[in-house]
């Protein structure tokens, strides 16, 4: 707050023209000032508002009445400033930034199906169904490199600004989702969850991007290349809730994304031609061509030469 916004100054010093009428120059009497402009002193220019010498006590223009009126103005402005601070604090707490600082548990996420992808190579899906007293959740995660999976199903409840999923089998396994910035959450499983549902190969733990499945479908239908590839990948892998295993649909989505220059989709077309998937006849020459095109766009696995020799690069 500006230190000069509100001030008290000696009447006669801070209030020009008031010293002789207001009790003598140098006598300390409150003068309310706004941005260095004395508010109560400005009223001296309005004839009849502030007291003059010789006026009777109790008169509407007496010193007592004027002082009471000035005190009322000061109190009103003070209340206004207090209210302004309150409004400012409320606006801060009601702003989207407050969700980043402390998101209420009910805000993440609403019932639905979500695609999950972590910063440590885990991806999968989360389905939340509304139930009395909370949610019922099913979560499936797969580690790309190892192929290890984690699945946990059970009731989900809000606890200390987290969404906690407990094992349906009552074996003490649980995991928690803690809201982060918009569209993200930290997922962590306890020891029982890691041991019973993940084993030694993989873990639930990680920072995840959470995207509603409906958003991916809508973006893919709208022509977004990344969403088309991701949807094709979901059909190809078949472990996402709400997206069945379907190689033919995966092939169609990969073709759409590849036509838009998506390197991942180009690579996956090479894989499907090499393996003869999605109704394709195995074709090494076609596979090499798709790998070449993906490598030209910087795709790391395509550069390693899957399906074609180093001499053919």
**70 and 114 together in one domain:** no
| 8 Å CB contact between 69 and 39 | no
CATH number at residue 246: 1.25.40.10
End position of a domain, from candidates 212, 233, 248: 212
Helix (H, G, I), strand (E, B) or coil at 177: strand
128 with 228, same domain?
no
Residue 261 forms part of a structural domain:
yes
The pLDDT of residue 83: 64
Sheet holding 37-38, edge to edge: 6-7, 33-34, 37-38
Residue 300 buriedness (CB in 10 A; 0-12 / 13-18 / 19+): exposed
pLDDT at position 218 is: 95
Q: Report the 10 Å Cβ neighbour count for 268.
A: 27
Would 161 be classed as within a structural domain? yes
On whether both 78 and 155 belong to a single domain, the answer is no
Same domain, 76 and 172: no
Q: What pLDDT score was predicted for residue 290? A: 94
Distance CA 111, CA 40 (A): 59
Q: Please give the structure tokens belonging to residue 214.
A: 């409906």
Counted domains in the chain: 3
User: Which structural domain, as residue segments, surrounds residue 21?
Assistant: 6-94
pLDDT tens for the chain, 313 residues: list them: 444 433 334 444 444 444 444 444 444 444 444 444 444 444 444 344 444 444 444 444 445 555 665 666 667 666 666 666 556 655 554 443 333 333 444 455 788 999 999 988 899 999 999 887 778 999 999 988 788 889 999 999 888 888 899 999 989 999 999 988 888 999 999 999 999 999 877 889 999 999 999 999 999 999 999 999 999 999 998 888 889 999 999 999 999 999 999 999 999 999 999 999 999 999 999 999 999 999 999 998 888 765 554 445 4
Please tell me whether residues 64 and 34 are part of one structural domain.
Answer: yes
Q: Residue 218: inside a domain, yes or no?
A: no
For residues 34-52, b (16+ Cβ closer than 10 Å) or e, as one string?
eeeebbbbeebeeeeebbe
Are 50 and 75 part of one and the same domain?
yes
Can you give the pTM of this predicted structure?
A: 0.59
* DSSP codes of every residue in 225-271: HHHHHHHHHHHHH--BTTB---HHHHHHHHHHHHHTT-HHHHHHHHH
């Amino acid at each position: 707050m500006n230190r000069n916004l509100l001030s008290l100054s000696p009447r006669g010093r801070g209030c020009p023209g008031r010293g002789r009428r207001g009790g003598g120059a140098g006598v300390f009497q409150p003068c309310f000032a706004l941005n260095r402009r004395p508010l109560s002193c400005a009223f001296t220019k309005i004839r009849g508002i502030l007291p003059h010498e010789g006026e009777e006590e109790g008169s509407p223009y007496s010193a007592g009445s004027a002082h009471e009126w000035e005190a009322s103005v000061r109190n009103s402005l003070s209340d206004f400033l207090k209210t302004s601070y309150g409004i400012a604090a409320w606006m801060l707490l009601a702003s989207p930034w407050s969700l980043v600082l402390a998101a209420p548990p009910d805000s993440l996420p609403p019932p639905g199906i979500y695609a999950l992808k972590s910063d440590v190579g885990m991806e999968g899906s989360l389905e939340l169904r509304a139930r009395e007293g909370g949610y019922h959740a099913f979560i499936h995660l797969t580690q790309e490199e190892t192929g290890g999976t984690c699945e946990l199903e059970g009731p989900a409840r809000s606890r200390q600004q987290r969404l906690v999923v407990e094992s349906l089998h009552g074996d003490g396994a649980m995991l928690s989702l803690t809201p982060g910035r918009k569209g993200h959450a930290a997922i962590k499983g306890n020891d029982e969850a890691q041991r019973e549902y993940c084993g030694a190969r993989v873990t639930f733990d990680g920072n995840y991007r959470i995207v509603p499945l409906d958003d991916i479908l809508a973006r893919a239908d709208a022509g977004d290349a990344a969403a088309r590839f991701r949807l094709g990948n979901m059909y190809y892998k078949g472990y996402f809730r709400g997206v069945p295993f379907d190689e033919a649909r995966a092939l169609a989505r990969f073709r759409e994304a590849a036509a838009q220059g998506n390197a991942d989709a180009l690579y996956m077309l090479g894989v499907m031609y090499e393996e003869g998937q999605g109704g394709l006849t195995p074709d090494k020459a076609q596979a090499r061509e798709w790998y070449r095109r993906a490598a030209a766009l910087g795709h790391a696995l395509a550069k390693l030469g899957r399906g074609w020799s180093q001499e053919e690069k």
